[in-house]
Amino acid sequence: MADVTYHLAPDRNTLRRLRDVARGAAPADLVISGGALANVFTGELQEGWGLAVAAGRVAFVGPDAEVHARVGEGNGRVDLAGDVVAPGLIEGHTHLTRVRVSDFADAQVCAGVTTTVVESMEYAAILGPESLRLFLAEAAQTAGRLLYTISGLIMIDPEQSSRLNADDWIQLLDSPGVVGVGEIYWADLLRGHERSERLIEAALARGLAVSGHGAGARPAGINAMAASGVGSDHEGIDADDLLQRLRVGLHALARHGATRQDLPAIAHLWQRGAIDLSRLGLVTDGVEPSDLAEGRSLNIVVAKAVELGLPPVSALRLASRNVAEHFGLGRWLGGLGAGMLADVVVLPRAGGSIGFQPRLVLVSGRRPEPSPPSRYPDWLSQTTRLGVLPAALLERPPSGCWRAMELQTSTVTREVESDGRSDLLCLCLGRDGSGRGFRGLLRGFGLRTAAVAISSPWELNAALIVGEAPTEMALAARRLEELGGGVVVTREGCVEAEYAAPVAGLYSVKPLNEVVSEVAAVNCAMRTLGCTSPNPILTLETLTTGAIPFLRIFPGGYRRLRDGAILGLEWESTVSV
C-alpha cells in the first residue's frame, strides 16, 4: 500500500537503517545495477551506476562495485541488463476521467507514473467535501501514490456556487494526501473571488501549493495571478507563454494530453536558447481511457519532449524532480538520492535510445499490487435526477435575433447572433430534480438528425441535452436518467450508443477496457451523425466551464467569461453581472 500523506519524511529508526546501509555497515533490502542511472539532480546519465534500497528508500547511490558491496544474504536484486534506472514519474496536474479510481491508479503505474496529483473539481460541486474524503480513503489502497488538490470552487452558476462553503473545504487541507489548492481561474480571482482567496490563504498558511489556471492571461494578469498567491500555471500554450510565467517566478507546467497538445509549440523554449528549466514541469492535464489502456500517460509526454530535442535525463527531470519541488515534496520524492523514497522505473534501452514504456516499476522499493476494484456507496449513484423536461425548454424559438454559442475550436466558443432556426438546441438542466434549466443554441457541433444527453459537463451539477428534435432530446434525457449518468446518443426513436457513468454521473463502475469500448462507440456515433469534433464528449463537457473562453452555458443562462456577465437567449437581453 502506498504512503499517501504529503508528510514523507522517515522516522529516526528508518534514518538509522538508511545510514547503516549507506556506510556499508548493513546489507540493503534490494540492489539495482548493471546499466545506467538517470540523475535528475545533475542531468547526467551515469553508466555503470546503480542504487541500494532499504526500508523502501534509496540508501546508497554509486558505482555498481560499491552497490554490490551492500548485497546481503537473501536480499533482492535487479539486473538492469544495460537498461536505465530512473525516478518514477510524477504527474503534477491531471483529472480523473470516466474510469474507476482503481483502474486509473493501476494504469498510471503501468506507465511509470508512481505519483499522481489529481484535481477534485469535477465532483466538488456535485457531491461536496464528503466525496473527496471517500476518494482520499480509496487512495490509501491503490497502486502508486495518489495525491489530491482541493478544488478552487469557481463555477459559472451563481446559484450552485452559493451553496459552497469555503470552511468545509479548508478543513480538508489538513487531510493526508492533500497537497494544495487546485487550478484557480485567474479572471475570477482578479475580480475578487472571496472563497478562492480564503482557500489560497489557508493553503499558504500550511505551506501547501496553489495552482492557477491562466488561460489567455497577458503579462499583467500573469503577474497579478502570481501576486495573489498562485505558484504554478499549466495554461501556457507556446514558448513565449511559458517564458512569461517563468520570468515572474511561477512554476510553468507544459501540457500535452487529452484537452490540448502543446509541446510542439512549447519546445522552442529549449530549442532556441539556454533557459533555466528548473521551474518547468511536464503534465497531461488529463488522459483519455483509451490512452490509459495502452500504457500512454505522462510517459508519452516525456517521450514527446525528447523527440522535440530535450535530452532524455532533462525530460525525466521535468516529469519528476521539478514537479515534486513545486509541491514542496522534493526532499523525499522525485529523484534517486539517498534517503528519498525508492519510486523507480527501469526504462529499456536499445541502439543508444531510451524507451519510456517501463519494464519494471517500483513504488517505495516494491512492485505494487493491483488496486482493489473501486466500490462506491449507493448515494454516489443517485445524483442524476432530471425529472420531466419542461416543455418550454424543448421548444425551438421562433425566427428572430437570438444568442448562440459557436464552437471556434473543439473547446473554445464565441458569442454569435442566431436566427433560432439553423442552430442546435442546447439545454442545460440541473441534475437535482428541480426542473431548473436554460434553453440555449449551439453552432458548429455538427450533429444532424440526432440528439445527445450527457451528465458530466465540467464544474456543474447539470446535464446537457443537445439536438434538433424535441422527441429525440427527451428520449436521450430519459435514458440518461435510467443509466444514472453518462452519455446517450439517440436517432429516429432509438438509442444509437450509450456509455453509463452512474458514479456522480461522472465515472463508470465497469473495468477500463469496457469503458474504452463504450466511450469509443459513443464518440463514433456522434461523428457518424455529423459531429466534427475529434472528441465530441470532451467538447460537450467543456461547454459549462469557466476555464475556457468565451461564452458558456449553465441552468440559469449564458455566462460571458470576459466580464462575468449573465446573458439570456434573446440577443438584446438584459445583462446582469
Instruction: Specify whether 479 is located in the same domain as 384.
Output: yes
**Residue 190 falls inside a structural domain:** yes
Per-residue confidence (pLDDT) for residue 6, from 0 to 100: 58
Instruction: Specify whether 205 is located in the same domain as 105.
Output: yes
> How far, in whole angstroms, is CA 189 from its chain's centroid?
21
Contact, 498 vs 486, CB < 8 A?
Answer: yes
Phi, psi of 205 (to 5 degrees): -65, -25
576: burial class by Cβ within 10 Å (0-12, 13-18, 19+)?
exposed
Per-residue confidence (pLDDT) for residue 274, from 0 to 100: 76
Per-residue confidence (pLDDT) for residue 3, from 0 to 100: 41
Between vectors from CA 289 to CA 96 and to CA 442, what angle results, nearest 5°?
A: 80
**Residue 321 falls inside a structural domain:** no
What is 478-494 written as a DSSP string? HHHHHHTSEEEEEETTE
Per-residue confidence (pLDDT) for residue 111, from 0 to 100: 98
Look-up of cell digits 507544459: 254
Instruction: Specify whether 295 is located in the same domain as 440.
Output: no
Extract the C-alpha cell encoding 162.
452559493
Instruction: Specify whether 297 is located in the same domain as 428.
Output: no
Instruction: Specify whether 303 is located in the same domain as 384.
Output: no
Instruction: Specify whether 112 is located in the same domain as 222.
Output: yes
SS3 track for 279-334: CEEEECCCCCHHHHHCCCCHHHHHHHHHHCCCCHHHHHHHCCHHHHHHCCCCCCCC
Extract the C-alpha cell encoding 403.
444568442
Instruction: Specify whether 291 is located in the same domain as 399.
Output: no
Instruction: Specify whether 468 is located in the same domain as 550.
Output: yes
Q: Which residue type sits at 534?
A: P
Between vectors from CA 283 to CA 522 and to CA 5, what angle results, nearest 5°?
A: 105
- What CATH code is carried by the domain that includes residue 216? 3.20.20.140
Instruction: Specify whether 244 is located in the same domain as 105.
Output: yes
**Residue 223 falls inside a structural domain:** yes
Instruction: Specify whether 388 is located in the same domain as 528.
Output: yes
Instruction: Specify whether 293 is located in the same domain as 405.
Output: no
Q: Is 360 left (phi over 0), alpha (psi -120 to 50) or beta?
A: beta
Per-residue confidence (pLDDT) for residue 574, from 0 to 100: 55
Extract the C-alpha cell encoding 419.
436566427
**Residue 109 falls inside a structural domain:** yes
Q: Which residue type sits at 408?
A: Q
Phi, psi of 138 (to 5 degrees): -70, -35
Instruction: Specify whether 248 is located in the same domain as 394.
Output: no
Look-up of cell digits 502508486: 144
Q: How far apart are CA 516 and CA 526, in angstroms?
A: 16
Domain encompassing residue 213: 90-260+268-279+286-307
**Residue 492 falls inside a structural domain:** yes
**Residue 84: partners with Cβ closer than 8 Å, 6 or more residues away:** 35, 36, 37, 38, 45, 346, 347, 349, 354
**Residue 375 falls inside a structural domain:** no
Per-residue pLDDT 10s for the chain (577 aa) are 344 345 799 999 999 999 999 999 999 999 999 999 999 999 999 999 999 999 999 999 999 999 999 998 878 999 999 999 999 999 999 999 999 999 999 999 999 999 999 999 888 878 889 999 999 999 999 999 999 999 998 999 999 999 999 999 999 999 989 999 999 999 999 999 999 999 999 999 999 999 999 999 999 999 999 999 999 999 999 999 999 999 999 999 999 999 999 999 999 999 987 799 999 999 999 999 999 999 999 999 999 999 999 999 999 999 999 999 999 999 999 999 999 999 999 999 998 899 999 999 999 999 999 999 999 999 999 999 998 888 889 999 999 999 999 999 999 999 999 999 999 999 999 999 999 999 999 999 999 999 999 999 999 999 999 999 999 999 999 999 999 999 999 999 999 999 999 999 999 999 999 999 999 999 999 999 999 999 999 999 999 999 898 999 999 999 999 889 999 999 986 555 4
pTM: 0.95
**Residue 494 falls inside a structural domain:** yes
How many domains, the chain?
Answer: 2
Q: How far apart are CA 477 and CA 385, in angstroms?
A: 10
**Residue 362 falls inside a structural domain:** no
Contact, 471 vs 489, CB < 8 A?
Answer: no
